Amino acid sequence: MNKTETKNILVYVELADGAPVKVSAESLAAGRTLATAKGEAVIDVLLGEGIGEAAAAAATLGADTVIAVDDPAFATFNLDATADALGQIIEAKKPDVVFIGGTQDGKDLAPKLASRFKTDCASDVMAAALRDDGIIFTTPLYGGTILTDVSIPKSRPQIATIRSGAFKKVEEPTAGTVLSESITVADDAIRTQ
């Protein structure tokens, strides 16, 4: 993808015990801030089984649209299946930025997606700001003793994992629309069990 064909912020909402994890709400807050500054929308994506309530909860956190893929194939996290499904949604929606919570699963998922789209990935993002030359992600180095600003100037989508606790939830969020979608993951896309 190139910069001219991408728009909006996509946030992958990870679920635990049928509810969005805390860092997903924080990722949404980071996305909402950037989307507002860019005049764009925030799209949440949830994958799982029996996720109607979780999708409704995610819709109240400030996303414009929530894509819910409710399928038994996503009842438990499988890196290959999740990456393929999310990759299909990214190809269809063409977001400028993809935010993923910095959980164990998120830290596995982000580089896999970055490889698929031949783009870069900013890890453990603590701040994100829109500047004239694009989005600047602040990330820690050397065990957090140094903070550095990084950008992904050319490739799209820009992918970033969000550090837990780095962003506050959206204050007075508006409710978004929940859309149900169906995704089929090819058998050969799943390499691990």
Contact residues for 44 (Cβ-Cβ < 8 A; gap 6+): 10, 11, 12, 13, 28, 58, 59, 61, 63, 65, 66, 67, 176
- Residue pointed to by tokens 């989307």: 35
- The SS3 assignment for 48 reads strand
pLDDT at 62: 85
Q: Could you give the CA distance from residue 15 to residue 55 in angstroms, rounded to a whole number?
A: 10
Domains defined for the chain, CATH in brackets: 3-180 (3.40.50.620)
Please name which of 154, 147, 125, 124 lies closest in space to residue 137, comparing C-alpha atoms: 125
Write the pLDDT tens digit of every residue in 113-136: 999 999 999 999 999 999 887 899
Question: What is the radius of gyration, based on Cα positions, of the chain?
Answer: 15
Q: Could you give the CA distance from residue 7 to residue 177 in angstroms, rounded to a whole number?
A: 18
* Identity of the amino acid at 107: K
pLDDT at 80: 93
Q: Which residues of the chain have pLDDT under 50?
A: none
pLDDT at 157: 94
Task: Say what the pTM is.
Answer: 0.93
pLDDT at 179: 92
Strands (E), 57-152: 65-70, 97-101, 121-125, 127-131, 134-141, 146-150
